[in-house]
A and B are shown apart, each in its own frame.
Chain A
Amino acid sequence: MSRDTIFSKIRSAISELDCKAEHPGFEDDTIVSSSRLGSDSPKAAFKRNFEAVNGRVMNSCDEVVALLHEQGQTHGYCDPELMESVGQRLVDAGLEVETSYDRERYDDYAFGITRATGAIAESGSLILDDAKTSDRLAALSPWVHVAVLRESEILRTIPEALGRLNTSRNIIWATGPSKTADVEGILIEGVHGPGEQIALFVD
């Protein structure tokens, strides 16, 4: 019912128009911010922009361990496929790592380590894709989220990243840690999602 009504109302409304606007069209360059992108490497641009929104870029598991020790975090989750390259290093450093996420105990996980499928240099965003994220909740509920990726997976611009959206049904661009300014405009991080967002490069 509603469907037909809506379509007939739309058609009658637009039939009154004298002329219908064409799509203006645009070049990618118009919408890419060249000052954000800079002239350095994609990784350097990603780092600059990601750090500007309080994300942390790390290049070794030791750096992750150091941060977790510093923050007193001892227990977390790691995607089973990343155990060999990342999780095991944390275990060796004395941290407890689970490879399955039990939602009954969501509060037990202080960190979560999952795959990112890429990143965007221009905006400093991580690309988290449902098909490659071992568990959505494990990437979301812990205070520290470590997104693991390779330098070669960084895309330069937002239009490029939109052009590469795949068939995955849930894709998230995470541009820094979760935040709010609802209370008197004061910036507070870690509202519902991670308070620490880390991009860990394994190359």
Chain B
Amino acid sequence: MVNRQPIDVYAHDIGEEKQASVLSGSASSTEKRLSALFNDYDDPNALRKLAGGIKDHTLHHLDRYLEQTEASLKRNGGHVHFADTADDAREAVLSILKERELTRLTKSKSMASEEIHLNDYLTEQGIEVLESDLGEFIIQLDGDTPSHIVRPIIHKNRREIARSFQRGGIATDYNDDPETITRRARVHLREKYMQAEAVITGGNFISAESGRVVLVTNEGNSRFGMAPSRVHIALVGIEKLVPTDRDLAVFLNLLGRSATGQQLTVYTEFISGPKDEGQPSGPEEMHVVLMNNGRTDVLASNCREILRCIRCSACQNVCPVYRQASGHAYRSPYGGPVGAVLSPILFGDKFPELADLPKASSLCGACNEVCPVDIPIPDLLLRLRDKAKREHIPQPGDLPMAPFATLATSPAIWRTAMTMSKAMNHLPIHVAPVRPLQDWLGQRTLPDWHGGDFRKWLKSRREN
């Protein structure tokens, strides 16, 4: 068998139905994003640069803003926990729950928790964790993993979901009408919310100035998870800070539009502590777990710009490779261009296994153009390819460079090769029994050979 890049293997094996779901889902999100931004602003590009600039400023002064965030959260009556590693984060969450003997939780969508496989861990410890975002709920029901940052089940169609509901005991009969599916989840989940003792959320932003944790959802699941619970735990990556409440205007406006073409996501929640006195519903305690898990390694690398990411998924939606291969091909919670950069460095110990990801790109630049925080993703991909080279991590599809070096340093051999190579246009070289050549051609089509034409042209120019 040809030694293909792992991502090509996924794209090859994904199946037509799944590929069609991913393709139509990502294409429609791309369109909505475009019209939302360009109808509403004269110069959306200026906003992307501004947002990138604010994020860079925050990251370059992260020590200061993290300290300020800690102080603000405490001032608001929240408990602050720092977690350097994935283990630390899991343990921090567990000990909050254990100390209070809480065993039933709901959880609203959080990429940070996906990163550290929090659900599996808590389940092993005898704690019931129920995902409450409709997409994540279905993922959990199927024992699957999300394949998209914003739409975790972009790879599933209604028929698969209807079958999962039947299998999982959510419904007794098969019904694939999206409205019925949603109503059934509504009934099932609200019963669970009402029984839950605690809720785990992520955090889209934290304002260092005010200590407000900002959460956005369309479904209202984090709102509903919080209202009946006694304890709220927010698990947030340390790169999610913004300096002030005012800065949030830039990010909230860009996030909704870039993710789904909405001006604002339906529910934007500003949470700065446990419930107010006099409010009958809502958590009595708020805990914020500030997680590193490799982010400082990214900050120390030459790809630190990726930490600006606000997880909008626009780069996934627009990426031709993502559209063909789907998110699972990227083998981490972050698929698409953002994952191709982030995963190999964030999960540094896995760099050799994930070092192929930066190669799974044609460097077409679309991801950079849509990114609301102006991350130069193609440049970062090149830097990572370079890192793989320097660390001598062999990649499928690498061609041995020695023959080229010989050719390029000897004009006579070069001339002959150029002329001879014309014959390639007529030879079935894709079946040539040369392994590296097969690997390389397995992913590419060669244009017709025009070698030698330049010399001919130069010669005729001299003669005239």
Contact = CB atoms under 8 A, between A and B. Distances in A.
Interface string A151-174: 000000011001101001111111
A81 to B, nearest CB: 12
Interface in B204-241: 210, 212, 218-221, 223-224, 226-228, 238
Interface string A127-155: 00011010111001100000000000000
A158 B62 CA distance: 26
B46 to A, nearest CB: 7
Interface string B62-90: 11001100000000110001111100100
Contacts of B224: 140-141, 192-193
Contacts of A101: 280-281
B84 A188 contact: no
B268 A14 contact: no
B243 interface: yes
Nearest to B178: A183
Contact of B263 (A16, A123, A130): A123
A123 B266 CA distance: 10
B347 interface: no
Contacts of B243: 23
B274 A169 contact: yes
B53 interface: yes
Nearest to B254: A31
A175 interface: yes
Contacts of B85: 2
A192 B220 contact: yes
A168 B243 CA distance: 20
A170 B25 CA distance: 33
Contact of B194 (A7, A31, A106, A169): A106
Interface residues of B, number: 99
A6 B281 contact: no
B182 A180 contact: yes
B276 A13 contact: no
B102 interface: no
A159 B190 CA distance: 34
B60 A191 contact: no
B264 A123 contact: yes
A36 B179 contact: no
Interface in A25-67: 26, 28, 30-31, 33, 35-36, 49, 53
A179 B266 contact: yes
B186 A190 contact: yes
B54 A49 contact: no
B382 to A, nearest CB: 20
A97 B35 CA distance: 43
A182 B267 contact: no
Nearest to A131: B276
B82 A3 contact: yes
Interface in B317-340: none
B219 A31 contact: no
B61 interface: yes
Contacts, number: 254
B269 A172 contact: yes
B361 interface: no
B279 A191 contact: no
Interface residues on A, range: 35 or more
Nearest to A33: B40
B414 to A, nearest CB: 41
B272 interface: yes
Given A6-B238, A188-B178, A175 B266 contact: yes
Interface string B129-142: 00011110010000
A76 interface: no
Interface stretch (B245-253, B348-356, B395-403, B441-449): B245-253
B246 A172 contact: no
Contacts of A163: 245-246
A198 to B, nearest CB: 15
A179 B441 CA distance: 46
B296 A10 contact: yes
Given A6-B84, A23-B57, A185 B28 contact: yes
A147 B296 CA distance: 44
A46 B183 CA distance: 29
A170 B179 contact: no
B315 interface: no
Interface in B167-218: 178-179, 181-183, 185-186, 189-190, 193-194, 210, 212, 218
Nearest to B65: A10
Contacts of B219: 178-180, 191-193
B251 to A, nearest CB: 10
Given A13-B299, A123-B263, A178-B218, A170 B269 contact: yes
Contacts of A31: 47, 50, 249-250, 253
The residue in A1, A124, A170, A172 that gathers the most chain B C-beta atoms within 10 A of its C-beta is A170
A184 B158 CA distance: 7
B460 interface: no
Nearest to B56: A21
B95 interface: no
Given A123-B263, A163-B245, A179-B219, A184 B57 contact: no
B110 interface: no
Those 5 A-B pairs whose CB atoms lie nearest each other, nearest first: A193-B220, A9-B296, A24-B53, A13-B300, A191-B219
18 contacts: A2-B84, A6-B82, A7-B66, A13-B296, A14-B61, A33-B40, A33-B253, A106-B190, A137-B227, A158-B252, A162-B245, A170-B271, A170-B275, A172-B268, A182-B153, A184-B21, A188-B182, A192-B224
Interface of A: 1-3, 5-7, 9-14, 16-17, 20-24, 26, 28, 30-31, 33, 35-36, 49, 53, 101, 103, 106, 122-125, 130-131, 133, 135-137, 140-141, 158-159, 162-163, 165, 168-186, 188, 190-194
Given A22-B57, A179-B219, 5 more contacts: A30-B50, A180-B135, A183-B178, A185-B28, A188-B178
